[in-house]
Structure 1
Amino acid sequence: MHQSTQRRTCRVVFLVGCILPTLAVVAWATYERLPTTAAARLGVVERMLGIRVAAASVDTPIPGVVRCRDLQLANVETGEVVLTAALAHLHTEEPTPRVQLSGVTVAESQLTHLATSLHRTLEVDWPGSVSIELANVSWKDGGRSAASKLLAGRSLAITLESTEQSGAITGRRCTIDAGDNGPRVEVLRNRQMTPPTTRVELDTAGQPVPADWLVELGALVIDGGEVATFAGRVEVVHAADGTSGMLDGEFENVALAEALNVPLNAVASFQNLKLHWQAGRMVSAEGDVVAEAGSMPGGLAQTLKHLYQTPQPGAHVANEATLQFAWMGVTFRLADESLTLLPLSGAEQNACILGSNLQVLFGCPDRLAPTPYIGTVLTHFGGDRGTQAATRLPRTLQR
């Protein structure tokens, strides 16, 4: 489970940042107000975004068009390059200023820094709107597989605009559209709330994205390691009392030990997953978990016996031994006071965990797992991370 903090709020547009390498040139939407020299223009952009900006040249090839060659954005403190663009054009005389970028590379390791800069653009005022078109986008040094596939062969259309009421700006909206059947992101900064709230909506259109991006967005989800991916829909709202939202989709290649904060060593998929959380605490969660093979320490296996009225073969392993299993499949429902665990529909021998010879190690549980019991297991086996995860469980009802 993810700990929501004010620091994370500055990163709510993390996924937006990963496919929005346009932070510097957005400032040219108010080109008429900028100084005339290239160095002065870049200096204004640096101060607005808090990021180092350099370019080989900034000129006006024809009236109404600003051109920038070899644009580079870098972390002010470390000097690490965040993104580069071979060429950028800003069309200033159109009703909606239009930016065209090509030959763009983004450093995935610097996305958090990039997102912080982007967040500043949602907190300041821009007249009207800005339309941005990106072509030939790639990750610096290749990026992870899921991230690379996300951008492969796509052109991105981005709009940054203000919402107004009675002449006053009530919010800022940023939308990203990756074309037909591609992912779509919308970020809305609502200034009508005090303090302002930020809503992030992501639809991956069935394409997998790195799962840890969701964690950085502020979603109260599992962090299943570097190769874990997610496909589906997510909504996250950042407000004064923490994050709230929902998730509907699937995770693949999840390292359970890292995701659940218990020593359950297996790589699994989470299917038909539906999550809801409010003010930084889980309200409900349900879905299916499937793992082909793995292991757990005897101490963890023994804790499962509390869910059964009859002895289970898997619970007989010694505390200091390791229980190996060949398959695990569980349907779970977490809400209010308990966690319900059931075998998958059609599971062999109605089992939740099978051994190497397809013998049943754990069958269908007879009892529910009370929420305080789950918290105790997380705290005992997960240390500080488990203790923190326990605070994100649903609140038990007061009797």
Structure 2
Amino acid sequence: MLHIHVTAEDMTRVRFAPRPSPVPELHAALLMLGAPHEGLLFGRWRGRLLRTLPGAAEPLAELVPGGAAPHFLDVLGGTREEGFALIRSARPEFVRSELERVYAGQGPVPPWIRALHHGDAAAWGTLGRAQRAAYETVLAPVWPLVQDLHRAEFTRYALTAAEQGLAAALAAVAPGSRLREGVWEWPTAPTAREAEAREPAAREAEAREVRLDGRGLVLLPTFHWRGGPLVQDLPDRPVVLTYPAGGGIPPTPESRGPRADAGGLSAALGRTRTEVLRALTEPRTTTDLARHTGISNATASAHAAALRAAGLITTTRTGRSVHHEQTPLGTLVVGMPSAGAVGVPPDVVRGRVGTDP
């Protein structure tokens, strides 16, 4: 169980990362790459990357000898280069202590890790080249898709916070979590057998007490990780909680193809209801909507009611006629590339509006 202790001051400092952060997303992907028991959904993804990952990226595996990464890698940064620069600027004593921690009891230390421990510039160069090589192979091909996914998750969080309050928005981040009496409780830890199979990074977050103490909290979704929350808890910094989001399947370049664009939103709303929503980029009466989509007036009215209840359209009455039009949320859902396929949140579309027969 993960307990995050939130003060009244912290509640004013909880924020959702406005955009994805390349370095944490890369590290989450690399953690999944080293989790062979997660083969069902990630097997094809893992196989493709292991075949294409260049040799220059191999030193990264030596940074996590026991499955847990050194904390000087825990940075944010709005760009890849900014994140790498933050890692490079870590205090030498912090780098040394973290390397000693992760290599405690792990056997021989690779020469370049020893050199990094001593602050050698060539060793830092090895790390920088490894990170860039991994980024170009793992994240660069899907980064636009990760950005789309992040916008969808941001929208889901913002809508929940606006409609139901911050406590509900926090609880919605992870099924089974809840905020009560100043403590944000994450789901119960798995059984002993399941815990043995869990990644070390995930186990590290279990049975843990995190106290914000006025530092605030940054929520950062990741779309390459399926384990428990990853917590960055460093002195004098806001706590960063990286949590698994999306549909449980890693982003792939083919997810952005025309086929995904055409079918994703329909899978969430249903084909007819999607056509109705797309037709309302301009105001239409019920009769005009029915004529435009080739359905009856009664069917058009029923679908419009469902979309209106979900907050995707508005309906205004003028005399004896009514006009339907997309809301800003409806425009966002329709305009998002690969909307359903890349993770428009279920409670924004499917859970609120359902699918038509």
TM-score normalised to structure 1 length: 0.24
More relative contact order, 1 or 2 (CA 8 Å, 6+ apart): 2
TM-score by length of 2: 0.26
Larger Rg: 1 or 2?
1
Which has the larger share of strand? 1
